Amino acid sequence: MIFPNRLVLSAMAGINNADFAKKHKVGFAILGGFNADKATNEAAIRAMKRGRKEFVFKDPLKGIESELKKMEEFKGVIGVNIRSSTMEGYLAVAKLAGDFDAVIEINAHCRQEEFIKIGCGQALLLSEKLPRIVEEASKFTEVSVKIRGGLNVDYEKIARKLFDSGALLLHVDAMIPGGGADYNLVERLSRIGNVIGNNSVTDVRSARKMIEHGAKLVSAARAVLRDPLFFEKLLEDDLLSTKVEVI
């Protein structure tokens, strides 16, 4: 899969719809996070009641399809970040993503209690279900998995299982509890497979640092809310603007 540059717009629930993503000249734009089934939609509604931004579609699959259709003129690779309480939800979106040559990104990252309680998001890092989800979804389209650092888990073991199960990319939020990015984690996991480096990417220097520690791509999210021209400024750098093939 060829990305026209090394920059990634990371998913932001309630924000990254097609209209928002199309504004940014990134190599990989990840829509969502979206909810694939009734249980995750209901969890999103509960989260919204306490002030969270979320996407809630009356018909999840039709809602996601509508967003993908709006991205058909986008020049980079498209992704959809997905939460589901069932295998069926992931597979339905994987099939849909395949129809649009889009990547499905399995959300093993969200730490909101509403989703963890139903086995989604970060809870998947502690579950044997995650490699199986990747294995089944990869039959229909390319798969990325978004994970969170800073937990007491064996990240190398998890990464090997996910890549062996068919994941193309591991999207690593290399957070350190208390602040900062764990570049050592990015480097270790990049030795195992293709990594998108995420966390504390605020400028050219910090973005390049992710690539220099082995990441194939580098992502940001909240930074673009502070500066709508954030990615345009990063694209002035020769390394970050380089086309890259990920296999």
pLDDT confidence of residue 178:
85
Other residues' Cβ atoms within 10 Å of the Cβ of residue 45: 14
pLDDT at residue 184 tops 90: yes
Question: What's the start-to-end Cα distance of the chain, in Å?
Answer: 6
Q: How confident is the model at residue 205 (pLDDT cuts 50, 70, 90)?
A: very high
Q: Give the pLDDT band of residue 217 (cuts 50, 70, 90).
A: very high
The chain-wide mean pLDDT, for the chain, equals 97
Q: Is the pLDDT of residue 47 over 90?
A: yes
Query: Residue 143: CA atoms inside 13 Å, Cβ hemisphere, count?
Result: 28
Inter-residue contact 224 to 22 (CB < 8 Å):
no
> Is pLDDT above 90 for 28?
yes
Angle in degrees, CA 118, 94, 133, rounded to 5: 50
Q: What pLDDT does 134 receive? A: 98
CA distance 48 to 23: 25
Res 192: pLDDT: 98
Run of H or E residues at 18: helix 18-21
Predicted pLDDT at 12: 98
Q: What is the pTM of this model?
A: 0.97
pLDDT at 97: 98
Domain spans of the chain?
A: 2-245
| Amino acid 125: pLDDT | 94
Say whether pLDDT at 49 is over 90: yes
Burial 140-162 (b: 16+ CB within 10 A, else e): bbbbbbbbbbeeeeebeebbebb
Residue 177 has pLDDT above 90, yes or no: no
Superfamily for 2-245?
Aldolase class I (3.20.20.70)
Tens digits of per-residue pLDDT, 55-86?
Answer: 999 999 999 999 999 999 999 999 999 999 99
Q: Which pLDDT tens digit goes with each residue over 92-137?
A: 999 999 999 999 999 999 999 999 999 999 999 999 999 999 999 9
Q: On the CB side of 26, how many CA atoms lie within 13 Å of its CA? A: 28
Give the separation between CA 149 and CA 175, rounded to whole angstroms: 5
The per-residue pLDDT for 61 is 97
Task: Give the C-alpha separation, 25 to 171, whole Å.
Answer: 19
Residue 179 has pLDDT above 90, yes or no: no
Beta strand segments in 5-120, E: 7-9, 28-35, 77-83, 103-108
Residue 243 confidence (pLDDT) above 90: yes
